[in-house]
């Protein structure tokens, strides 16, 4: 028969392998969401950089675009009242 110290070591290693397998299967809790959030934040940062560069290069076009967008938003909100 197996003596108790070897049995404990064997059980501990088996439990450790099981936990590692479950961690690999399920992933870190919230890890996928943090990864998606990081990707979204990176994408939003790139969009903000592009808009900032565009407004620096062509301020008149940016002003006209913002005015047009404000006009459209005003039309949409006035119709709802």
Q: Which pair of structure tokens corresponds to residue 59?
A: 């301020």
Domains in the chain, number: 1
Over residues 26-43, the pLDDT tens digits come to 555 555 556 677 777 888
| Mean of pLDDT values over 51-78 | 92
73 pLDDT exceeds 60?
Answer: yes
Measure the CA–CA gap between 2 and 10, rounded to whole angstroms. 10
Please state, rounded to an integer, the average pLDDT across all residues of the chain: 77
pLDDT on residue 6: 75
- Cα dihedral: 13, 16, 18, 24 (round 10): -140
- What is the residue range of 56's domain? 4-80
Q: Which of 10, 16, 13 minimizes the C-alpha distance to 2? A: 10
pLDDT on residue 60: 94
Residue 60, classified by CB atoms within 10 Å of its CB into exposed (0-12), middle (13-18) or buried (19+), is exposed
pLDDT on residue 70: 95
């Amino acid at each position: 028969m197996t003596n108790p110290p070897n049995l404990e070591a064997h059980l501990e290693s088996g439990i450790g392998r099981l936990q590692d397998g479950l961690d690999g299967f399920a992933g870190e809790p919230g890890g996928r969401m943090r990864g998606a959030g990081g990707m979204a934040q990176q994408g939003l940062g790139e969009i903000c950089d592009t808009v900032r560069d565009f407004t620096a290069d062509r301020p008149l076009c940016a002003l006209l675009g913002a005015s047009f967008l404000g006009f459209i938003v005003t039309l949409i909100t006035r119709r709802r009242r």
